[in-house]
Structure 1
Amino acid sequence: MKRTRTMAYTHAEFKRLLPHALQNRDYSDRGRQIEANDSGTRILIQLGDEYERRIASLSMPVCDVTLELQGFSDDQAQAFLDKFDRTYRRGGG
């Protein structure tokens, strides 16, 4: 399963939250490529270029993040993506 998300994070901000998003799996970080392996499953993450999105006077960092999940059942993949999305959700209430 492969999914791409456009996320309002710099690479550094994304990586700061990564251990929580990966649910404390061990991972290797090769700059823009991140890989985590655990019990027959594999998560590959590719970070795209950072750019800036502007809306009137507001600007925010943005990058595309591609996730590839291997060895996951459909239910496991959906559970992982739900947790991933909750980890990176920004909101003000």
Structure 2
Amino acid sequence: MQVSLEMSLNREDFLRLLPGAVGGVEVAEADGVFRGAECGLRWTIRLRPLPDRRLGSVVLPCQAVEISLEGHTEVEAEAFMARFHRGFQRGGG
């Protein structure tokens, strides 16, 4: 399964939030490509900077995120993506 996302965050925030988003498994990184595995299911995440988004005086960093899930059933892939999205959710008030 392949998933492409655009995320409004900088690389440092991505690195800080990634462990929680992938369930705390060990992550190996080389040249913007992150790899990990859990219970025999492998995944790869490719991070690539995009131009900042500007809304008036507000500047939002933006990253292209390409996720490749190997060996996942549809249910396992959905569970991985749900956890990934939860790991990057932001609350405010």
The answer to whether the 8 A contact 1:33-1:45 is kept is yes
Task: Report the equivalent of 1:35.
Answer: 35
Q: Which runs of at least 4 in structure 1 moved beyond 6 Å after TM superposition?
A: none
CA–CA distance in 2 between the matches of 1:50 and 1:91?
24
The answer to whether the 8 A contact 1:36-1:43 is kept is yes
Tell me how far 1:40 sits from its aligned partner: 1.7
CA–CA distance in 2 between the matches of 1:90 and 1:50?
20
Return 5+ residue gaps in structure 1 as ranges: none
Deviations 1:33-79 (A, max 9, x none): 00002222111000012421001111111111000011111111101
* CA RMSD across the alignment: 1.3
For 1:76, the aligned partner's letter is E
Identity %: 30
Return 5+ residue gaps in structure 2 as ranges: none
**Which secondary structure state, in structure 2, belongs to the residue aligned with residue 47 of structure 1?**
strand
TM-score w.r.t. structure 2 length?
Answer: 0.91
Task: Report the equivalent of 2:59.
Answer: 59
CA–CA distance in 1 between the matches of 2:80 and 2:39?
14
CA–CA distance in 2 between the matches of 1:92 and 1:5?
22
For 1:82, the aligned partner's letter is A
Task: Report the equivalent of 2:4.
Answer: 4
TM-score w.r.t. structure 1 length?
Answer: 0.91
